[in-house]
């Protein structure tokens, strides 16, 4: 990981924290209903946990590199880690203010009371004691450690514990908080006040029964995050998928990356924890009384008040596919586009279901990056095998945190007779593609699906993505060649229309940018407009700087982090970036090049990151249907005009909201996109 120059590039890990701060802003934004703001606190916490397990753990690995080599490569992991910890500390303080000064009082105002054990009344105490004995005690594991003896203390990743001090300072106690078995929140039965308490508080209240012979002097919640990377290169010979599956246990025992502890823990107690776990000061992160706020995804609403949640937006019926009895006929006539979550993922599953039941369909090929636990799509693939179809499934066994589930499904498909291909070393298959081959009039006709999101019905309800069904045979033949590459029959797909990483995407994007530069030099209108998740590739960024200096107008929408610094005179003054964080997760990628008035529009699975351009199989497709191209442009234009949830990404990194001019109409793009599609498809 090369350290970018501060003068020309932001560091991706620091700018990612700026993205997570936008999530925190959503928790504070009273435009959002109360329970949705609670959900944003959970998202912030979940994001931060993964960040420490993945990104910070990589920084720790760098520290093992010889100092002379680190200096040569301009790597400064310790300095960067300190900057990260300082920023995280400030964000955690904001988090605490939002939770304590906004969320808790507003819950109380709604008649929902999240109470601590010190505030239990007599009836609540009786319920808690009874509930602990019946539902919790069997799952409690506790230890007393003598500090003057050798101790092997192991904390499971992301598990909550109480670190307990006693009057006898030579001993300490450790108790798990069994969230997986008991849930994080308990509604106190028989209480007319809609009282809810943390599982933590019930365990805290009963600690005197867990340590009956000790006088307790302090109770402090702790949580350890561990390295989530799977280091498998040298494990043993054999199939990569098997190596990955067998190495998953490393995640539970990986190197510690952060110990989150109650900030009220005294320094002398902190020293005891550090010594027992073999941690350094840099590994210690002070927090609030409670950790794992991602558990607030399941925070109960005893009032069932719809005003406390986002109003449901019914899926928009597709004007063609909704009424179509035969998708193949509809797609053969004209390309059909889908936009999630505004439309239902059922259309994708229905397409596959028709293929499974159609006697003329011979082959089904699909790439799966994150497989749902159980879905219509996976059931259809199994049914296709029973119906005698030839099924080829590429399963990405290295999709972080989904490896196990993906491999399990790959094995199920194999057992039923599918041709299952797993990951390749050092490269991931991130493309979202499906190809159906159908015999029509003694010829094989190909039907393609290319999307920006995973084949996952669950995430399709919260991720904003785009997809196109097409019977364009030029696109289909190139997609077929890519599948042959995945199957090992070809080395290079030889594409002319599609942009396929790592074969052609970087080269084609470079040509497209240089084309805009040439047009600007010739006095022609030159513009680049793009929407993506992240912008990190330094070579592409330098090209965008060059284009900006030549007069190309560059308008970007980047949801996550960006290493490009916009708005700097002489470097990036013609580049303007905003970021939209709202109800849904913006996940689609759209790239528009002015091309001298004959616009070229692309969409697909790749961000402008080194990994997407050079180390992943990605598919970026041109939008060839004129109607769909116009639709994509109009949807993108709506997002670029957002003045409710858009934040300006500039050199200050202050995440300032886009200001509305006096009298200007508020444009909350996700709702405007819904209304646009609804009008288009139901009129």
Q: How far apart are CA 114 and CA 198, in angstroms?
A: 8
Please give the pLDDT value at position 220: 97
Residue 2 has pLDDT above 70, yes or no: no
CA separation for the pair 197, 131 (Å, rounded): 12
For the annotated binding site for ATP, the residues are: 47, 463, 559, 587
β-pair type (160-166, 171-176)? antiparallel
Binding-site residue set: 47, 370, 400, 463, 559, 587
Cα–Cα distance measured from residue 274 to residue 255, given in angstroms and rounded to the nearest whole number: 14
Partner residues linked to 316 by β-bridges: none
Please state, in angstroms and rounded to a whole number, the distance separating the CA atoms of residues 320 and 337.
10
Q: What's the pLDDT score for residue 60?
A: 63
The pLDDT tens digits of the residues spanning 575-609 come to 999 999 999 999 999 999 999 999 999 999 999 99
Average pLDDT over residues 641-650: 97
Indicate if the pLDDT at residue 372 is higher than 70: no
**C-beta contacts of 182-190 below 8 A and 24+ residues apart:** 182/135, 182/136, 182/139, 183/298, 184/292, 184/295, 184/298, 185/295, 185/298, 185/299, 185/300, 186/131, 187/300, 187/302, 188/115, 188/124, 188/127, 188/128, 189/127, 190/123, 190/127
Q: Are 135 and 182 in contact, with CB atoms under 8 Å apart? A: yes
Peptide bond between residue 341 and the one before it cis (omega within 30 degrees of 0): yes
Q: For the beta carbon of residue 425, count every other beta carbon within 10 angstroms.
A: 9
pLDDT tens track for 163-181 = 999 999 999 999 999 999 9
Span 293-317, average pLDDT: 96
Whether 533 has a pLDDT exceeding 90, the answer reads: yes
The pLDDT of residue 237 is above 50: no
What's residue 76's pLDDT? Answer: 63
How far apart are the C-alpha atoms of 562 and 554, rounded to whole Å? 14
How crowded is residue 298: how many other Cβ atoms within 10 Å of its Cβ? 11
| Per-residue model confidence (pLDDT) at position 61 | 59
Cα separation, 497 vs 622, in Å, equals 7
- pLDDT of residue 361 exceeding 60, the answer is yes
pLDDT digit string, tens, across residues 11-23 = 999 999 999 999 9
Lowest-confidence pick of 408-417, 510-519, 651-660:
408-417
pLDDT score of 219: 97
Among the listed residues 11, 291, 430, 466, the single catalytic one is: 430
Q: How far apart are CA 260 and CA 402, in angstroms?
A: 25
Residue 208 has pLDDT above 70, yes or no: yes
Higher pLDDT, 505 or 405: 505
CA–CA distance, 377 with 344 (Å, rounded to integer): 13
- Is the per-residue pLDDT at 250 higher than 60? no
CA distance 214 to 517: 75
The pairing of strands 113-115 and 195-198 is parallel
**Whether residue 502 has a cis bond before it, omega within 30° of 0:** yes
Q: What is the C-alpha separation between 128 and 185, in angstroms, rounded? A: 12
Under 8 Å CB-to-CB from 683, ≥6 apart: which residues? none
**Residue 45: predicted pLDDT:** 94
Stretch 554-581: mean pLDDT, rounded?
Answer: 97
Query: What is the mean pLDDT of the segment spanning 407-426?
Result: 80
By the 8 A CB rule, do 360 and 326 touch? no
Q: What is the pLDDT of residue 232?
A: 39
Would you say residue 324 has pLDDT above 60? yes
Between CA 443 and CA 574 the distance in angstroms is 51
pLDDT of residue 105: 97
Query: Which of 471-475, 580-584, 614-618 is predicted with the least confidence, judged by mean pLDDT?
Result: 614-618
Q: Which of 60-64, 489-493, 634-638 has the lowest mean pLDDT?
A: 60-64
Determine the average pLDDT of the residues in 621-640: 98
What is the pTM (predicted TM-score) of this model?
0.89
Distance CA 300, CA 290 (A): 17
Architecture of the domain delimited by 1-110: Up-down Bundle (1.20)
Q: Which of 273-282, 418-427, 461-470, 619-628 has the weakest average pLDDT?
A: 418-427
Superfamily of domain covering 501-682 = Endonuclease Chain A (3.30.870.10)
Q: How far is CA 656 from CA 641, 645, 683, in A?
A: 15, 10, 37
Query: pLDDT per residue over 260-270, tens digit each?
Result: 999 999 999 99
Q: What is the pLDDT of residue 227?
A: 67
Question: Mean of the per-residue pLDDT values for the chain?
Answer: 90
Answer whether 115-227+256-302 and 501-682 agree in fold.
Answer: no
* Alpha helices per DSSP H over 227-295: 240-247, 250-253, 267-277
pLDDT band at 69, cuts 50/70/90?
very low
Neighbours of 607 (CB within 10 A): 23
User: Hey, where are the domains in the chain?
Assistant: 1-110, 115-227+256-302, 327-494, 501-682
Lowest mean pLDDT among 130-139, 210-219, 284-293, 526-535: 284-293
- Minimal CA–CA distance to 143: which of 161, 167, 117, 168? 161
Question: Any idea which of 148-152, 419-423, 581-585, 657-661 has the lowest mean pLDDT?
Answer: 148-152
Model confidence at 210: pLDDT above 80 = yes
* Residue pLDDT, tens place only, 106-126: 999 999 999 999 999 999 999
Q: Distance from CA of residue 128 to its chain's centroid?
A: 37
Statement: residue 524 has pLDDT above 80: yes
Which fold does the domain 327-494 belong to in CATH?
Endonuclease; Chain A (3.30.870)
CATH of 115-227+256-302, one of 3.40.50.300, 3.40.50.1950, 3.40.50.720, 3.30.1840.10: 3.30.1840.10
Alpha carbon distance 22, 29 (integer Å):
10
**How much of the chain, in percent, has pLDDT values that exceed 70?**
89
Cα Dmax for the chain: 87
Which amino acids are annotated as binding site for Mg(2+), given as ranges?
370, 400
From the list 398, 421, 402, the residue with the least C-alpha distance to 410 is 421
Predicted pLDDT at 408: 76
In this predicted structure, the answer to whether residue 236 has a pLDDT above a threshold of 80 is: no
Mean pLDDT of all residues in 191-196: 89
Q: Is 466 labeled as catalytic in the residue annotation?
A: no
Q: How many CB atoms lie within 10 A of CB 549?
A: 15
pLDDT on residue 53: 77
pLDDT of residue 148: 82
The reported pLDDT for the residue numbered 247 is 44
**Mean pLDDT, residues 243-260 taken together:** 57
């Amino acid at each position: 990981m090369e350290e970018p120059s501060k003068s020309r590039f932001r560091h991706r890990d620091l700018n990612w924290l700026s993205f997570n701060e936008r999530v925190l802003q959503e928790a504070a934004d009273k435009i959002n209903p109360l329970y949705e703001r609670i959900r944003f606190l959970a998202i912030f916490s979940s994001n931060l946990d993964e960040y420490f397990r993945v990104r910070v753990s990589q920084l720790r690995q760098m520290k093992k590199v010889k100092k002379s080599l680190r200096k040569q490569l301009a790597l400064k992991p310790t300095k960067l880690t300190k900057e990260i910890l300082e920023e995280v500390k400030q964000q955690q303080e904001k988090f605490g203010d939002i939770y304590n000064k906004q969320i808790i009082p507003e819950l109380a105002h709604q008649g929902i009371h999240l109470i601590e054990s010190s505030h239990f009344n007599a009836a609540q105490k009786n319920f808690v004691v009874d509930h602990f004995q019946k539902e919790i005690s069997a799952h409690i594991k506790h230890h007393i450690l003598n500090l003057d003896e050798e101790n092997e203390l192991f904390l499971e990743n992301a598990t909550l514990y109480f670190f307990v001090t006693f009057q006898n300072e030579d001993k300490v106690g450790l108790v798990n908080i069994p969230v997986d078995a008991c849930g994080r929140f308990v509604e106190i039965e028989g209480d007319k006040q809609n009282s809810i308490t943390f599982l933590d508080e019930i365990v805290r209240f009963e600690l005197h029964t867990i340590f009956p012979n000790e006088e307790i002097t302090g109770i402090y919640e702790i949580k350890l995050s561990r390295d989530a990377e799977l280091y498998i290169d040298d494990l043993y010979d054999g199939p990569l998928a098997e190596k990955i599956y067998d190495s998953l246990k490393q995640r539970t025992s990986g190197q510690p990356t952060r110990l989150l502890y109650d900030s009220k823990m005294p320094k002398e107690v902190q020293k005891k924890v550090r010594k027992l776990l073999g941690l350094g000061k840099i590994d210690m992160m002070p927090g609030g009384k409670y950790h794992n706020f991602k558990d607030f995804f399941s925070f109960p609403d005893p009032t069932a008040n719809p005003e406390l949640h986002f109003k449901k937006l019914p899926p928009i019926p597709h004007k063609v596919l909704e009424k179509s009895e035969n998708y193949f006929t509809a797609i053969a006539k004209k390309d059909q586009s889908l936009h999630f979550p505004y439309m239902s993922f059922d259309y994708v599953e229905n397409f596959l279901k028709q293929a499974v039941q159609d006697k003329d369909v011979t082959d089904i090929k699909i790439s799966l990056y994150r497989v749902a636990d159980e879905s219509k799509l996976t059931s259809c693939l199994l049914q296709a095998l029973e119906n005698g179809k030839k099924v080829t499934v590429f399963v990405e066994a290295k999709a972080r945190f989904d490896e196990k589930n993906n491999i399990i499904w790959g094995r199920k498909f194999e057992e039923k007779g599918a041709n299952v291909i797993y990951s390749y070393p050092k490269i991931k298959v991130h493309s979202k593609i499906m190809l159906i081959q159908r015999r029509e009039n003694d010829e094989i006709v190909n039907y393609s699906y290319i999307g920006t999101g995973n084949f996952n019905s669950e995430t399709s309800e919260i991720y904003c993505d785009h997809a196109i069904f097409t019977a364009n045979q030029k696109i289909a033949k190139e997609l077929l060649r890519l599948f042959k590459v995945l199957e090992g029959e070809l080395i290079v797909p030889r594409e002319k229309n599609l942009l396929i990483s790592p074969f052609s995407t970087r080269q084609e994007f470079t040509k497209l940018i240089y084309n805009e530069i040439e047009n600007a030099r010739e006095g022609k209108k030159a513009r680049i407009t793009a929407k993506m998740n992240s912008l990190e590739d330094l070579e592409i960024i330098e090209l965008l700087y060059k284009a900006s200096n030549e007069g190309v107008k560059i308008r970007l929408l980047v949801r996550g982090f960006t290493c490009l610094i916009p708005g700097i005179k002489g470097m990036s003054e013609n580049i303007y970036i905003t970021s939209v964080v709202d109800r849904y997760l913006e996940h689609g990628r759209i790239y528009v090049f002015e091309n001298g008035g004959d616009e070229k529009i692309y969409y697909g699975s790749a961000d402008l990151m080194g990994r997407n351009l050079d180390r992943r199989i990605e598919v970026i497709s041109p939008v060839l249907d004129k109607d769909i191209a116009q639709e994509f442009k109009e949807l993108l234009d709506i997002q670029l005009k957002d003045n409710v949830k858009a934040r300006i990404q500039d050199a200050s990194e202050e995440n300032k909201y886009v200001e509305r001019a006096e009298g200007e109409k508020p444009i909350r793009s996700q709702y405007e996109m819904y209304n646009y599609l609804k009008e288009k498809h139901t009129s």
